Amino acid sequence: MRFFSDNAAAACPEAVAAIAAANHLDTAYDGDAWSRRLDDAFSELFETRVTALWVATGTAANSLALAALCPPHGSIVCHRDAHIQNDECGAPEFYTHGAKLLLAEGVGAKLAPETVSDLLATVRDDVHQTQPAALSITNATEYGLVYTPEETAALGALARSRGLGFHIDGARFANAVVSTGASPAELTWKAGADALSFGFVKNGGLSAEALIFFGEEHRQATLYRRKRSGHLLSKGRYMAAQLLAMIEGGVWLRNAGAANDAAARLAEAAGPDRLLLPVEANEIFLRAAPQEAQALRDQGFDFYDWGPGEARFVTAWDSDPGEVAALAAAIRAL
Amino acid sequence: MRFFSDNAAAACPEAVAAIAAANHLDTAYDGDAWSRRLDDAFSELFETRVTALWVATGTAANSLALAALCPPHGSIVCHRDAHIQNDECGAPEFYTHGAKLLLAEGVGAKLAPETVSDLLATVRDDVHQTQPAALSITNATEYGLVYTPEETAALGALARSRGLGFHIDGARFANAVVSTGASPAELTWKAGADALSFGFVKNGGLSAEALIFFGEEHRQATLYRRKRSGHLLSKGRYMAAQLLAMIEGGVWLRNAGAANDAAARLAEAAGPDRLLLPVEANEIFLRAAPQEAQALRDQGFDFYDWGPGEARFVTAWDSDPGEVAALAAAIRAL
Amino acid sequence: MRFFSDNAAAACPEAVAAIAAANHLDTAYDGDAWSRRLDDAFSELFETRVTALWVATGTAANSLALAALCPPHGSIVCHRDAHIQNDECGAPEFYTHGAKLLLAEGVGAKLAPETVSDLLATVRDDVHQTQPAALSITNATEYGLVYTPEETAALGALARSRGLGFHIDGARFANAVVSTGASPAELTWKAGADALSFGFVKNGGLSAEALIFFGEEHRQATLYRRKRSGHLLSKGRYMAAQLLAMIEGGVWLRNAGAANDAAARLAEAAGPDRLLLPVEANEIFLRAAPQEAQALRDQGFDFYDWGPGEARFVTAWDSDPGEVAALAAAIRAL
Amino acid sequence: MRFFSDNAAAACPEAVAAIAAANHLDTAYDGDAWSRRLDDAFSELFETRVTALWVATGTAANSLALAALCPPHGSIVCHRDAHIQNDECGAPEFYTHGAKLLLAEGVGAKLAPETVSDLLATVRDDVHQTQPAALSITNATEYGLVYTPEETAALGALARSRGLGFHIDGARFANAVVSTGASPAELTWKAGADALSFGFVKNGGLSAEALIFFGEEHRQATLYRRKRSGHLLSKGRYMAAQLLAMIEGGVWLRNAGAANDAAARLAEAAGPDRLLLPVEANEIFLRAAPQEAQALRDQGFDFYDWGPGEARFVTAWDSDPGEVAALAAAIRAL
C-alpha cells in the first residue's frame, strides 16, 4: 500500500482512452487537431485568452516559464523548499542560462509578501548583483498547503509593483483549486500570475503537463525554446488529447477531489496534534516516532520519512478507499 | 493519402498495448520494472554492455549524446543537411552550451572519410578556434541513404584517429538495419560508435526514443543532463514499456521492413531516371515537374515539394498497401 | 621586421601617457571621471547619442554586441571568413548562449545584400530552425577591404527590412574611416547600424576597445552582461583614459592613416598583378611563390603564409618607414 | 581621504614601469616573452609546477577556475557572503553554464569543515539535485579574516574526501600571506587547493590578476575558455609584465604588508570593543553609531556604511600614513 507520491500513480481511464482515440495519422508536432484545440479549451477554462502548450514534465513547464520571465543575468525569488530549487537538478538554471534562485522563508514552503519583500531588500540595485526578475510560488506547496486567491493576489501585487514576472508551479494546481473552491482564473491571472505550470501527471495524466501563459507575449519565444530543448514531440496529439480529455469533462477536478478527500480522511484520523502542518491538499506530514513509523510499515504501508520523527504520505486520484481507511485506522491506533 | 513523413504515423499495436499493460502504480521516474530492464534488453540486442535511456524525442537523444561527447568550446562535424543542423532549432548548441557545428559535404547527406578529413584540415589547432570533438552521422540519412557497416567503420576509424567521439543519429536506424542486413552491433559500436540515437517514434512508437551509449562512461553525467533538461518523466514506465515491446519481439524490424518495402515499390515504379537518389530506406526523392506534382496531388496524394521540380515521399510502418500501390501506379503513369 | 599583424604593435604614446595620467585613486569600476566621459565623447564623435563602454578585447565587444541583438534561439548572419566565426573560439555562441552563425559568401570577406538575401532565403520560418536575428559585417574586412557608406547602408536597409539587428565588427574601423573618407556616423548609424565594436588595440591602443550602441536600448542589459562576463575591470579609468586620449585628439585617425599609407606603399610596389585583392586598408595579400616568400624571409621580413602561394602583410600605426620602404623594394624586386 | 576599497587605489610604480618597459612589438596574445615566463615564475613562487594565466579581473579568474572544477549540473559550496555569490552578477553561473551555488554559514564569511559538512549533508545523492563538485573559500575573506594553513588544510582534506575541487578566491591573497606568515604553498596546494585566483589589482596592480592551477590538468580547457570569454588580450605582454614585476621583486608582499599595517593601526585605535571582527588583513569593520559615522565624514573620511551602526574601512598598499594616522586619531576620539 504505497503512499509515496502521486507522481507514480496509474493514468486515469479518460487519459488512456484519449490516447487510444488519437491513434491515427495526423499532422506531426503540434499541428494536429488536438493540439490546435488547446488554446481555446484552456482559454475557456481560465476565462481569458491563454497560450497553452503541452510538455512532458513539470520540470520542463517550470523551466520554460522561468526562461520566459527571467533573463540570464536576472534572479528568481522562490521558497527555500521549492521544487525548482531542490528537485530539478538545476533545470531553471539550464533553461534561463544561469539565472540565480533567491531563497525566501516561510512555514510549509509558503511565501508571503513580507518574506519576499525582506528578501528583495537584501539585493543591491547595481550591476554586481543579478536583479530579481521573477517570483515563483507553488500552489499547492511542496508541503501540501494552498494559497487562497487573496494570498496569491497579494503576492501578485507585490510582483507587479517590483517589476517581477509571476509564475505559479501548479504541479498540484488541481488540488489547490478543489481545496480553495476558487476558480482557475481567481488563482492565477486575476491574482496577477503571468505563467502557470498546470500539472496533470500527478493528477492522473499519463505523460502530459500544460504550460499556460496568460496572454500572447511569451508564446513565440517559448515555442522556439520548447523545440530547442527537445520537448516538441513528433506525435503531439497524444499529449494534447490527454489534456483535453482531462479538462473538458471536469476529470481533473474529480481526480483532485478524490485525492484531497483521501488526504482529509487521513488528516482527521491523525488529529491536529500529530499533524505537522494543516492538510489542505493531498499531502500529509505527521509526527511519527521511529517505532510508530515502523509499526505502520509492518502493516504494509509505504511512505517517506521526512525529517527525524516525521513521515510524509501522499494520496492520489486513485488511492484505494480500503487502503486509505486501513491507513487511517492504523494512524489512529498509533 | 499522406506521404509527408513517418513521424506522424499511428503508433503500432504493440506499443499501445505495452502502455496499457504498464498502467498501474510503480516506482516513479526510471525506478520502475520496465525502465530497469532497458540496459539488459538493449545490451542483448547490441551484443555488448550499453547504457540505454528513454527520452521523448530524437532531438533530446541527439543533444544529450552530443553534450556527452563535446565540450562547450568544442565543435561537432556533421553534414550540411544533418537534422541536428537544420531541424532542431539549435538544440545541440543549447545542450552543449554553445559548441559549434562544422558542416561537411556529400551527396544524399552522406559523409565519407575524405570529406570529413577535408573539413578537419581547415581547422587550426590553436585556442582561437573551437576544436573538433565529435563526429555525427545520420543512418539512414536525411535523404534516405544508408551507411553500410564498412562505411560506418571507416568513419569510426577516422573519428578514433582524430580523437573525436562518434555519434549516430538513428532516427531511422531500424530502416538502415533492415536495408543493410547488418546487425545493430555492426552498424554501431563495432564500427566505432560511442552513442546512438535509436529512433522508435518514426518506426511505430508512440512517444519514446532510446539513447544508447556503448559502455558506461557517459551514463552518470547523462542522467543528470536528462533530469536537468526536463526529460526525466515521472511515469517513465510508459516510455520503457514501449521500447521493450518493440525490441523484444522484433517489432522494430517488422515495422521498418514494411516501410522499406513500400518505398521499394515506389522506387521501382519511378524507375532510375526519375529518382534523384537511390532508395535505400523509406524515403523517395523524385524528379517531378510542377504539373506532374499537381497531377499526383489531384489524385489525392500528399507529399512535400523538395527543391524545384522535386518531390519527397516517405513511407511508414503502416503505409496502406492499397495506397502505396495506387501511388506507384500514379508515378508510373506520369 | 615583423609584418604579422597590427595587433601586436606597441601602444602609442598618447595611450601610454593617458594611463600614467590616470594613475591615482578614483572611483572603482566605471564610476571614475574618465569612464563617465565616454558617452559624451563618443556621442560627439558619432554625432548622435551613443552608449560607449570599454572592454578589453574585440572578442568581448563583438560578443556583447551580438548577445544584445540575438536571442539564444536566434541566428546571426556573417561572412564565412568572419572573425566571429573563425577566430573567437565560439565566443559569440558563449555570450549568446548558443545562437547559430549562418555563413554567407563574398570575395574578400565582404557581404552584399544579394548574398545575404540568398542565405536568408534558405531559412524556413518555423520553430525547427533558429531564426535570423542579426547581421554582422566587418569593416575593414578580414581581408582588408572596406565598405563604403553606401554599401553599408544597403546592408543596413536589408537588415532593417528583415528585422535583423545590425552589428559592425570594427576591429579596424579607423582604417575604414580613413580609407573611405566617410564620417564615423556615415559608416554606422546613418547606415543602419545598431552596434559597433570600435577597435583601438590594433590601432595603437594598449588594452581597451570601445563597444558602441547607437541609442540607449541595449545599455542596461549590456552593463549586466559585461559584469557577468568578468569584463568590468576594477580600475576602469585606465581603460577609459586610453580611449579618450585616442579620440579626443584625433590620434585614432592619425594612427590609422599611417598604417593605411604604409600599406598603400606596399601595394604600389606589388602592382595589381601580384595583389590578390585591392588594398583598401592596412592589409596586403600577395601572390608569392614559395621561393619568393623565402627570398623575402631571407631579407628579414616576417609575415604569414596565407593560402598556397599567398602571403599576408599587415602594417601598423608605427610601421617603421625604413622597414616599409625596404619591404616595398624587396617586393618590387621579386 | 578615501577608505572605500583597495580596488580603486593607484597602480604601484613597479607595475606601471613594467608596462612601459613592455611597450614594444612582441608576439600577440600570450606568445610574448613575458607571458611565456609566467609558469616558471609562479612555479618558483609556489614551489611546485603551476599553470599561471593572466586575466583582467578577479571575477574572470574565479569563474574560469570554477568552470574548470564544476560541471553545469554540479554545485559549488561557498559562504553566504562570498564575492562569487554576491558581487559577480552571476558570473560563476555564466561560466559554469548554470551550476548552483550552495551557501554555507560562518562568522566573518569564513567556512569551517563543520559548516561545510552540515551543508553537504542536506544534499541528496540522486539525479534530482545538482551534486557538489567544488568548494570555494576566500582568503582573506570578504570580512578581512584569514585562514591559516591548518584551517585551509582542514577544508582541503574535507574537499578531497568528498570529491570536491578546491578553489581559493585570493583577491586579497597577498594580505593573507603576510598576515599568516605562511608561504604561498602552505596556503594553497599543500592545503589541498586545486586553483587560486591570485589577486594583484587590489594590491597595487593596474589591470592583471593571475589564475593559478596547481598542476597541468586544467590548463588546456581553460585556455579555450579564456579565449572564448574574450579574456585573451591581444597585447598580453602588458598583463604578464605587471605580474612578473610584482612577484619577482617581492613587491606584492611589500604592498600587502603596507596595507595590513595601516589596518592594524586603525584596529588598535578602535580597540576590541568597537571592532565587529578581528582585523587580520586590510579591512576594518567597526561599530559606529550614525552620529559617529557622520562625525568621521565631517572630518573628511570616506567609507562604506555596512549594516546599521556599522562601518567598513579598507586600507591599500598606498594608504597615506598621514591620513591613516588622522583616521586612527578620529576613531580613537569617537
The alpha-carbon gap from D168 to the nearest alpha carbon of chain C, in Å, equals: 17
Q: For testing the chain A interface, which of D63, D119, D125, D128 should be mutated: the one with the most A CBs within 10 Å? A: D128
Cα(B175)–Cα(B170) distance, integer angstroms: 9
Cα(A22)–Cα(A206) distance, integer angstroms: 14
User: Which cell numbers hold the place of A289?
Assistant: 516516532
pLDDT for the residue numbered A307: 85
The alpha-carbon gap from B56 to the nearest alpha carbon of chain C, in Å, equals: 16
Which of C195, C315, C196, C183 is CA-nearest to residue C253? C183
Q: Which residue has the cell 585562514?
A: D147
Q: For testing the chain B interface, which of D70, D127, D225 should be mutated: the one with the most B CBs within 10 Å? A: D127
Please, which residues have CB within 8 angstroms of residue D264's CB and are 6 or more apart in sequence?
A: D279
Count of positions (residues) in chain A: 334
C328 neighbors C279 (Cβ within 8 angstroms): no
Nearest by CB to D98, from A87, A93, A128: name it: A93
The identity of residue A22, as a single letter, is A
User: Which cell numbers hold the place of B88?
Assistant: 532542431
Count the helix, strand and coil residues of chain B and give each as a percent rounded to the nearest 5: 45, 15, 40
Task: Compute chain C's Rg from CA coordinates.
Answer: 20
- Residue in chain D closest to C21 (alpha carbons) equals D10
> Which residues of chain C register pLDDT less than 50?
none
B210 neighbors B173 (Cβ within 8 angstroms): no
- Chains near C with 3+ CB pairs less than 8 A apart are A, B, D
Q: Is C131 on the interface with A (CB under 8 A)?
A: yes
Which residues of chain D lie closer than 8 angstroms to C11, CB-CB? 23, 235, 238
Strands D209-214 and D195-198: antiparallel
pLDDT for the residue numbered C307: 85
Count CA atoms closer than 13 A to D177's CA, side-chain side.
26
The identity of residue A127, as a single letter, is V
Q: Is A190 on the interface with B (CB under 8 A)?
A: no
pLDDT category at B273 given cuts 50, 70, 90 is very high
Query: What letter does residue A233 receive in the DSSP assignment?
Result: -
The alpha-carbon gap from C97 to the nearest alpha carbon of chain A, in Å, equals: 7
Average pLDDT across chain D, whole number: 97
| CB-CB under 8 Å, C226 with A130 | no
- Residue in chain B closest to A27 (alpha carbons) equals B8
Task: Compute chain D's Rg from CA coordinates.
Answer: 20
pLDDT category at D77 given cuts 50, 70, 90 is very high
Long-range contacts formed by D293-299: CB under 8 A, 24+ apart = D295/D330, D295/D334, D296/D327, D296/D330, D296/D331, D296/D334, D299/D326, D299/D330
Q: For testing the chain C interface, which of B70, B73, B100 should be mutated: the one with the most C CBs within 10 Å? A: B100
Count CA atoms closer than 13 A to D147's CA, side-chain side.
32
Work out the percent of chain B whose per-residue pLDDT is above 90. Answer: 99
pLDDT for the residue numbered C325: 97
Ordered DSSP codes for C165-189 = EEEEEETTHHHHHHHH---TTTTTG
- Residue in chain A closest to D123 (alpha carbons) equals A86
Nearest by CB to A223, from C72, C97, C127: name it: C127
Virtual torsion, Cα C227, D319, D252, C22, nearest 10 deg: 50
Q: Is B250 on the interface with C (CB under 8 A)?
A: no
Q: Is A72 on the interface with D (CB under 8 A)?
A: yes
β partners of residue C136: C167
C32 neighbors C224 (Cβ within 8 angstroms): no
Q: Is D128 on the interface with A (CB under 8 A)?
A: yes
| CB-CB under 8 Å, B86 with C73 | no
Query: What letter does residue C8 receive in the DSSP assignment?
Result: G
Cα(C254)–Cα(C209) distance, integer angstroms: 17
**Residue C318, CA distances (Å) to B332, C9, C243 in order:** 74, 7, 18
Average pLDDT value for residue range D17-38: 96
Count of positions (residues) in chain B: 334
Q: Is D315 on the interface with A (CB under 8 A)?
A: no
Which residues of chain B lie closer than 8 angstroms to D227, CB-CB? 127-128
Which of A201, A157, A147 is CA-nearest to residue A177? A147
Cα(D39)–Cα(D234) distance, integer angstroms: 19
The identity of residue B27, as a single letter, is T
Which of A150, A154, A201, A151 is CA-nearest to residue A175? A201
Virtual torsion, Cα A66, A71, A73, A78, nearest 10 deg: -20
Which of B94, B46, B42, B38 is CA-nearest to residue B70? B94
Count CA atoms closer than 13 A to B89's CA, side-chain side.
23
Ordered DSSP codes for B190-259 = GGT-SEEEE--GGGT-SS-EEEEEESSTTHHHHHHHHHHTT---SBTHHHHHHHHHHHHTSHHHHHHHHH
Cα(D195)–Cα(D168) distance, integer angstroms: 6
User: Which cell numbers hold the place of B259?
Assistant: 516501410
Interface B-C, measured as beta-carbon pairs within 8 A, has a size of 57
D205 neighbors D243 (Cβ within 8 angstroms): yes
The identity of residue A291, as a single letter, is Q
Which of A264, A261, A274, A263 is CA-nearest to residue A333? A274
| CB-CB under 8 Å, A97 with C224 | no
C209 neighbors C177 (Cβ within 8 angstroms): no
Which residues of chain C lie closer than 8 angstroms to A129, CB-CB? none
C64 neighbors C225 (Cβ within 8 angstroms): yes
- Residue in chain A closest to B10 (alpha carbons) equals A24
Virtual torsion, Cα C106, C109, C114, C116, nearest 10 deg: 120
Spacing of C-alpha B66 from chain mean position: 14
Average pLDDT value for residue range B102-116: 98
Count of positions (residues) in chain D: 334
Which of C131, D126, B207 is CA-nearest to residue A231? B207
Which residues of chain B lie closer than 8 angstroms to A211, CB-CB? none
The alpha-carbon gap from C230 to the nearest alpha carbon of chain A, in Å, equals: 10
A119 neighbors A77 (Cβ within 8 angstroms): yes
Q: Which residue has the cell 580596488?
A: D7
pLDDT for the residue numbered C96: 98
- Residue in chain A closest to C226 (alpha carbons) equals A127
| CB-CB under 8 Å, C129 with B87 | yes
Inform me whether the pLDDT recorded for D50 exceeds 90. Answer: yes
In tens, the pLDDT along D222-269 reads 999 999 999 999 999 999 999 999 999 899 999 999 999 999 999 999
Work out the percent of chain A whose per-residue pLDDT is above 70. Answer: 100
User: Which cell numbers hold the place of A227?
Assistant: 523545440
In tens, the pLDDT along B136-184 reads 999 999 999 999 999 999 999 999 999 999 999 999 999 999 999 999 9
Inform me whether the pLDDT recorded for A107 exceeds 90. Answer: yes
In tens, the pLDDT along A5-28 reads 999 999 999 999 999 999 999 999
Which residues of chain B lie closer than 8 angstroms to A35, CB-CB? none
Cα(C177)–Cα(C192) distance, integer angstroms: 16
Q: Which residue has the cell 533545470?
A: A91
| CB-CB under 8 Å, C73 with A97 | no
| CB-CB under 8 Å, A27 with B8 | yes
| CB-CB under 8 Å, C16 with D207 | no
Average pLDDT across chain B, whole number: 97
ipTM of the complex: 0.97
What would the 3-class secondary structure string for B261-305 be?
HHHHHHHHHHCCCCECCCCCCCEEEEECCHHHHHHHHHCCCECEE
pLDDT category at D182 given cuts 50, 70, 90 is very high
Average pLDDT value for residue range B110-120: 98
Q: Which residue has the cell 619568393?
A: C292
Cα(C48)–Cα(D53) distance, integer angstroms: 40
Which residues of chain A lie closer than 8 angstroms to D96, CB-CB? 98
pLDDT category at D307 given cuts 50, 70, 90 is confident
Cα(A328)–Cα(A265) distance, integer angstroms: 7
pLDDT for the residue numbered C188: 98
pLDDT for the residue numbered B314: 97
| CB-CB under 8 Å, D128 with A88 | yes
Cα(D264)–Cα(D271) distance, integer angstroms: 10
Q: Is B80 on the interface with C (CB under 8 A)?
A: no
Number of Cβ within a 10 Å radius of residue B224:
22
Q: Which residue has the cell 584551517?
A: D151
The alpha-carbon gap from A215 to the nearest alpha carbon of chain C, in Å, equals: 20
Q: Is A47 on the interface with B (CB under 8 A)?
A: no
Q: Which residue has the cell 538545476?
A: A90
| CB-CB under 8 Å, B10 with A94 | no
pLDDT for the residue numbered C126: 97
What does pTM read for this prediction? 0.98
In tens, the pLDDT along C228-250 reads 999 999 999 999 999 999 999 89
Q: Is B127 on the interface with D (CB under 8 A)?
A: yes
